[in-house]
Amino acid sequence: MSDLANTIGALTELRKDPRPRGYADADLHRDFRAVFLGSALPEQQRRVLWILLDWAYFWEPALAPSDPHLTMMQEGRREMGLKIKNTLTKEPRREPVRVEGGKES
């Protein structure tokens, strides 16, 4: 299991902000480029994942009691965070491979 998968599996550990003290916009830019352009270290992966989930209000309830529109907006953001988390933590169902002649392998 990869380091990232281990981190996702332990959501209680992931809840802790992995950004070091003094983490700045330049650090954010560097980490996101490393993750999305393919050269990220495990700690950069953890930071970017935490930041994306934080931006998605993953750690907070989406309910804004006095504002249903804000609740819907926050719930939409939270849904994206849940999709990211679920994509990383749930193994996809293995589809049978169809070969010529209709037999599955």
Here the contacts of 36-40 (C-beta below 8 Å, separation 24 or greater) are none
pLDDT tens figures, 77-97 = 999 999 988 888 888 888 777
- Say if 31 falls within a structural domain: no
Structural domain includes residue 57: yes
- Is residue 99 situated within a structural domain? no
Could you state, in chain order, the average pLDDT of each consecutive group of 10 residues for the chain (105 residues)?
A: 56 75 95 95 93 88 89 91 87 78 60
Answer whether residue 28 is part of any domain. Answer: no
pTM: 0.68
Q: Is residue 59 part of a domain?
A: yes
46 belongs to a structural domain: yes
- Number of domains forming the structure of the chain: 1
Is 50 part of a structural domain of the chain? yes
73: containing domain: 3-18+42-89
